[in-house]
Amino acid sequence: MWKKTRTKKRVTITPQEHNIHKSLRFIFVVAQIFGFFPVQGVLSKTPNSVGFSWMSVRILSAILTCTGGFLVALGHIRHMILIEYDQFEMNGVIFYTCGCLSCIYFIKMATEWPQIILKWQEVDIAMATYGWPRNLNRRIKIVSAVFLLLETAEHFSIQANKLIVAVQCKGSLAKGFEHFTVNMSFPVIFDVIKPFYSPWLGLVFQFVNTRMAFSWTFIDLFIILISCALAMRFGQINYRVRCLKNMKVQSERSWGSVNEDYNRMCQLCALLDDKMSFLILISFFNNFYFIIFQVFGSLNLHKATALEVIYYYISLGLLLLRIVSICLYGSWIYEESKKGVELISSISPEFYNREILRFMQSIKYQAAGLTGKKFFKISRQLVLKIASAVVTYELVVIQFSRNAETKDEPSKNSIC
């Protein structure tokens, strides 16, 4: 009776009405505006229209973004080799290199995404009787909006502050803009091509910088949204297991069906982990590096201006928000995939059957979750490990800084 009622309520749900491509297409459209994830058919309502072509404007945009970031990264490397090593130059190398790698990786993923999304659609169709995960679309929109707005506010506030300082320093908008692009933003580029400088070229590199900044947010957001969709599907399976347990259902067919759905989700999760693991590695390396740098920078806050102190705390807060969000959403998959063990363990032994035992074995021995190239699995414990590493680093830096001579250097954002 229960099974018939649930099927009747959910049978009207079709791939055209709800599917993961339709849920994620907003963030994919935004990504393509910034030159990332060049798949075709992102505006379509079904995954069947998603494709990839090397001969497209999207690919050209992605290649230009990657090329621009690569040139700036080379400029920072050249400066460190030929002139002097500087921590800010190393930051530029890490920032633009990670941006280029993410751009290349998303091109690679775009070539495989049509097959991935069709596989995901097959799982959604097989689980049609569960209905679409409740509030999934709304959660995706809210999370996307929050991360994009925070990134936009952070990026343009620091750029606007630098431009204001440059204009005040030079006394006019034209000279201030030139100082902003040449001496404050891209000295490593214009030291080499200074005879060919033009304001338009400065705007081009500012555009590249904006795209590289977005790549950082898109990596983290992509991991979070995929994790959210997978975890909520596992949650639906747990809800059905709870219903079967409460109604004391002994039908091997019912339990076998749930076991098959669980196995499908584990296979989909393994596929996505295989395709996304390098992306996860880039994300954690990038976030962890800049958290370490911000912690190191806290020792010199007494030399900073009021605006720089405010930006410091905002930037550090966003970095922590990024890495904690990834850990919490990524671990959500693993936690939901293992909840079934607790539910099944509470079933009375007289109601056990062969399919229930098989289902329990599936949950115990299948590891659902996302990893960073198998070096680590995203979990809640990972937050504590990262926090421990940061605190250890801070203590070491404080210990060494007591005996080290510090130079009173002007702020990077206030030099004239």
Per-residue pLDDT of 14-33, as tens digits, reads 555 788 999 999 999 999 99
- Gyration radius of the chain over CA positions: 25
CA gap 244, 258 in Å, rounded: 10
Residue 159: the pLDDT is 84
pLDDT exceeds 60 at position 276:
yes
Q: Look at residue 44 and tell me whether its pLDDT is greater than 80.
A: yes
Any idea which of 153-167, 189-203, 241-255, 274-288 has the lowest mean pLDDT? 189-203
Tell whether the model's pLDDT for residue 415 goes beyond 80.
no
Quick check: 12 pLDDT over 50? no
| pLDDT confidence band for 9 (50 / 70 / 90) | very low
The per-residue pLDDT for 6 is 42
pLDDT band at residue 308, thresholds of 50, 70 and 90? confident
pLDDT at 11: 39
Tell me the average pLDDT across 158-178.
81
* Residue scoring higher pLDDT (262 or 414): 262
341 or 327: which carries more pLDDT confidence? Answer: 327
Q: Where are the domains of the chain?
A: 2-401
pLDDT attached to residue 3: 39
Q: What is the pLDDT of residue 153?
A: 87
Looking at residue 57, its pLDDT comes to 93
pLDDT at 175: 80
Assign 181 a pLDDT band (cuts: 50, 70, 90): confident
Model confidence over 188-205: pLDDT tens digits? 888 887 777 777 788 888
Q: With bands split at pLDDT 50, 70 and 90, how would you rate the model's confidence at 410?
A: low
Nearby residues of 226 by Cβ (< 8 Å), 6 or more positions away: 272, 276, 370
> Per-residue pLDDT for 311 more than 90?
no
Residue 5 has pLDDT above 60, yes or no: no
pLDDT at 7: 39
Give 173's pLDDT tier (boundaries 50, 70, 90). confident
Average pLDDT, the chain: 86
pLDDT at residue 404, rounded to an integer: 55
What is residue 365's predicted lDDT score, i.e. its pLDDT?
86
pLDDT at residue 283, as a whole number: 94
Ranges 72-81, 237-246, 310-319: which has the least confidence: 310-319
Average pLDDT over residues 309-332: 90
What are the structure tokens assigned to 398, written together? Answer: 């404080």
Is pLDDT at 10 greater than 60 in this prediction? no
Q: How confident is the model at residue 158 (pLDDT cuts 50, 70, 90)?
A: confident
The pLDDT value given to residue 412: 54
Q: What mean pLDDT do residues 63-88 have?
A: 88
In whole angstroms, give the CA distance from residue 67 to residue 299. Answer: 35
* Mean pLDDT (whole number) for 383-412: 73
pLDDT for res 1: 37
Range of lowest pLDDT (66-80, 156-170, 210-224, 281-295): 156-170
Q: Is pLDDT above 90 for 2?
A: no
Amino acid making up residue 160: A
pLDDT value at position 4? 39
Q: What is the pLDDT of residue 346?
A: 83
Using one digit for the tens of pLDDT, what is the confidence trace for 349-385? 888 888 888 988 888 888 789 999 989 999 989 999 9
